Structure formats: C-alpha cells, structure tokens
Amino acid sequence: MKLFTFLILLFFCNRAFSQHIQFNWQSCQYQAGYERDVMSKPSIVSTNDGYMVLSTVETGYYTPPPELPIMNIWLFKIDSVGILQWEKYFGSSSGAVQIVPADLDNYYIFGSTDSSVTSPTYLPNGGLWYIKIDGNGNKIWDKVVGSDNMVLGAGAFCIPTLDKGILSLTNLVGIGGDITNSFGFWDAWLLKLNAQGDIEWDFTLGTDGFDIGGLPIQTSDSGYLIPMSSADGTTGNIICTPPPQPTINSRAVIVKLDSAHNIEWQQCFEASYHLLFQNTLEVADGYIIGGSAYAGDGAVEGAGYHIGYNNQGEQTCDLWLRKIDFDGNLIWQKCYGGSGNDWPLQLLKTTDGNVVVFGQTQSRDGDVAGIHADPPYLYPLSEDVWMLKVNGTNGNLLWNRCIGSDRREFINNGVIQKDDRNYVLAIQTQASYRNDITCGDPEYEFFAWVSSITDTTAYVGIYDLVDISHTIKLYPNPADDYIVVEISPQFDMQNYQAEIINSEGRIVKTFSLSGTKPYLNTANLPSGLYQLRLENQKITASKKFMKK
C-alpha cells in the first residue's frame, strides 16, 4: 500500500520569546485508503542517521462480515530532517506499543499479536510480541509470550535495561503459560528478557482488586521503580499502611524493587477521589513521580489542586508531581493544570537540575497557556500535548506551552531529548495545516506528526523578531499567475526576503522585496499547496496559499 507523505520544513529560528519553543522541521506520515489510519500513539527512537517511528495502522478488513479492521505494526524511518526513508510492516492482527534501543544499532519492538502469521510461537487468544531488529528494520529474533487465558488491559510499557535486555510491564488478567503468579484480577505483570530473547524472570504486582502499572524505570542501583494505581483490593503484594478498605477510588502506589526484583519498599496515597501514579524519573537527590490527582485533599493536601468538572459532573484531574528522596521521603509536591484534565506522560531532566514534562491537557485556564481550542470548548473534542518546565528544587512552574491544533493531539512514548533545549516529538494528530501543524492531508483523520523543536528560552535578547503573520493579507487565494501580499504600513518592510515553499518542504522561489504591497509571480508554479515566508531583521511572517 502506498504511503503518502507531505513534509514541510519550517526554519523559524526567530520566533517570539513568548512561544518558548520553535519548530525546526515537521513531517506527517499516514496510510491512505482507510477512515482512521494511524491507530495508536507513535513511539520514536533515535538512530545513527535519523529516527524510527512505530505505530499501528489499518491494513484491511476481516472477511466475511462483520467488517472489523485488521491492525498491523507499522515502522517507518525518517532522516535527520524528517524525510521518509523506508517503511515496514510486522505481523497480521498485531498492535504496536513501543520501540526502544537495544545494543549497537539494534532495537526492540514491543507489541501484541493474535495471529499465526506473526510467529510460530503465537498464542491463540493473543500474546505479547517482542521483536529485535537491526538499523534497517530487519528482524533478528522475535518471541511471543503470555498465557492461553490471558486478557490484556489498558497500558503496556517497556524499557531497555542496563544489561542490554528489555523489561516490559503489561496490565492483564491471567495465569499459566509464562505468567507465574496472579492475584485474581487486574495485575501489573513484569517480564525481563535478555538480549537473545530468553525469559530471565517475571514478577506480578497487584491485589485481588483493580491494579494498573505505569511506565517503570531501572534505577541507578540496578533496581526498579514502579508507579501504579490500585482499587478494590485488600490482599496481594501491594500492602498499604494502614490496611486499605475496599473502595472504588484508586490509590496511588509507588513500589521500589531491588536488582533481584524483591520489594524493598512501597507507599500508598489516598484522597477523597482518584489518585494515580503513571511515570517516574530518577534525579540526583531522589525520584520524581508523575501522576494524576482528582482531588486536593488527603495525600495531595496543599499541593495546589485546580478543581474542575467534566460534562458528567465528575472532578477532573491535575498533573501531579511528587519529589521524594531515595527512601521515599517527601521533598515537595505540586499540582499543575486547570479546570480540565491534565496528566503527565514523560518526565525528563535537564543539566540545570530542572524537569521537563510532556503530557496532555484539556484545560483553558489555571496554569495552562495557550491551548489550541476555539470556544465553545467541549471535552474531549480538543486536546493538546502539554510541555512544561518546573524547578527541580521546589517544583515551581517555570513555563509551559501547548503543542498542537484546535483538534486532538496525543503523545505517549513519543519524545526524544537530544539535549537540554532540543527535542523530537512523535504525536498522533487529527489535524492538517492547523495552528502548530504545517503538514498533513485533511482527507485523513489520524496520522503521525513528527517534529523537531527547540526550547527558545535561552535566546532572550537575541531572538526577538515580531511575528506579524496574523496581520497580513494574501490574495487571490487560490492563486493563478500572481499573489499580492498586503502588509500594514506600521511595520518596517524594507529589504526583506520572501520564500515560497512547496508541500515537500523545498524552497521553489525566492524574492528580495521592499514595500507593503508586493506582487509575486506564481505563473510557473505547479498546482498545489504552498507556504509563503517573509523575514527581515525585525519581523517574520508566513501564510499558506493554493495554486490552481
């Protein structure tokens, strides 16, 4: 099946400081021919000469009816500026979860499958699928694990381990096969494979209630830190003090394992409504735990919870960070967000001792700056990726920025931190050519949006151009033989450069201009979508137009 790609490279090196980030390049990748194309949040990994991105796509339908879609694991490679190099598919009736580094130029793919086409070791009712590939996407080995009576739940994660193996955490119900232990209902199941694909150990965390694990980390002492939530259970190896009473409200739980996966310590946190832990980060003096707080009392008392309600009248969650020392003692905790739902997905540290958080937001108030949602605002029709930086010493919010459009954007394992200021993001989006998004195709609903961004807060006093895009007019649009750009006389438009960029990111025309109403010849341009970019030493602007 042919893959259509539209790539826009926008080097706005002089964005206004208030935006906090600049977009260096963008790449949109999607499958043609189906209503909903990219079906899962992309995962991304850095390679020697670019990036690999993993997701799930529709590749057909089961026959005879009912016409349920067939999902496949989809891997594509882009170069260092987002240009597609190749794509590959793995399995049939399979789904992607995550791609992580292995050894040398090799990588692990983690997903699930329920098809005999996938592997001779498949499980009839579905299993977890581990694939080791080289830098060209060629399979080195694969392994399907699990149990014949296993039921997979929401949430699965993997991390590379210090010995070049892979550790996965999967939320499931099941026993037997590769699953040594179960506590009777939903549990978090940890499985460790070595670099050759051999199972080294498995370990189950849970109770007889509803237990969900988040993204684990391997700690510097070769142990593991597991964020979780737990509800309804009173027996198992999650032990809270005092002993919990059955409740439908979830508790936030953090569990520290040693290098032999024995429980060293654990902590439980409760409030009048749900508390969840979802991710963790080791820093110089302890750990930062990321979670969601649906209440401001109990364990979250004094953290600054922003109360809000969804359309069903239920309290919404704040992004909740809790910093602890290596023994679990509290250093500080803070809530961030507004009256909508806000939660963390990846925590990253910077060399200045601060923390960068990537998550999701549905809020238009409180701490949230600039969500791309036009009123009237209805949950959850608009949702942005939320990037925020907090002080690692006291948790104070330093700045934040919403990334996306007035539709829906989702991120999960889609962040590469290149250094303190530079990141590459892989996001599932529903929008084309809207707000931050300068590529795509409006005929397709969901696709993978990959972009390179830079934190511009280090550029104070240098990168201070004024963006006047919202003030200029461009006509006729669609254009035929020419376009006219009308600029307010209040701006200094002497000696500025104009560039016309096609939908593949190439500069196809350049002009040296002066004046506030220039005429640009477009007669020789092929039909299609273009971007006009203007810039001099004081201003920058861009506008899109169609050529007939």
pLDDT given at position 354: 95
* Distance between CA atoms of residues 82 and 22, nearest Å: 16
SS3 171: strand
pLDDT given at position 374: 59
pLDDT given at position 436: 93
Provide the pLDDT confidence category of residue 12 given band limits of 50, 70 and 90.
very low
Our measurement of the distance from residue 141's CA atom to the centroid of its chain's CA atoms, rounded to an integer in Å, reads 27
For a pLDDT cut of 90, what percent of the chain falls above it? Answer: 57
Least confident residue range of 125-129, 186-190, 217-221: 125-129
Number of H helices, E strands in the chain: 0, 39
Least confident residue range of 53-57, 92-96, 164-168, 526-530: 92-96
The first and second tokens of residue 492, run together, are 């200094």
More confident residue, 155 or 388: 388
User: Half-sphere exposure (CA, 13 Å, Cβ side) for 471?
Assistant: 14
pLDDT given at position 507: 74
The mean of the pLDDT values for the chain is 85
Query: What HEC string does 455-507 produce?
Result: EHHHHCCCCCCEECHHHCEEECCCECCEEEEECCCCCCCCCEEEEEECCCCCE
The first and second tokens of residue 80, run together, are 């260092």
pLDDT given at position 452: 95
pLDDT given at position 15: 32
Q: Give yes or no for residue 82 having a pLDDT over 80.
A: yes
Q: Give yes or no for residue 548 having a pLDDT over 50.
A: yes
Q: Please report, for residues 503, 530, 541, the alpha-carbon distance to residue 10 in angstroms, rounded to integers and kept in the order given.
A: 11, 12, 11
Provide the pLDDT confidence category of residue 509 given band limits of 50, 70 and 90.
confident
Segment 360-370 mean pLDDT: 91
Give 534: exposed, middle or buried? Use CB within 10 Å, 0-12, 13-18, 19+: buried
More confident residue, 66 or 409: 409
Q: Give yes or no for residue 132 having a pLDDT over 80.
A: yes
**pLDDT tens string 52-79:** 999 988 776 666 566 666 788 999 999 9
Question: What are the chain's domains?
Answer: 467-547 (2.60.40.1930)
pLDDT given at position 376: 45
pLDDT given at position 483: 92
Provide the pLDDT confidence category of residue 504 given band limits of 50, 70 and 90.
low
More confident residue, 141 or 472: 141
**pLDDT tens string 231-250:** 988 889 998 876 566 667 89
**pLDDT tens string 99-111:** 999 998 999 999 9
**What is the pTM for the complete model shown?**
0.79
**pLDDT tens string 421-460:** 999 999 999 888 889 999 987 777 788 999 999 998 754 3
Segment 496-523 mean pLDDT: 80
Q: What is the dihedral of CA 297, 301, 307, 310, to 10 degrees?
A: -50
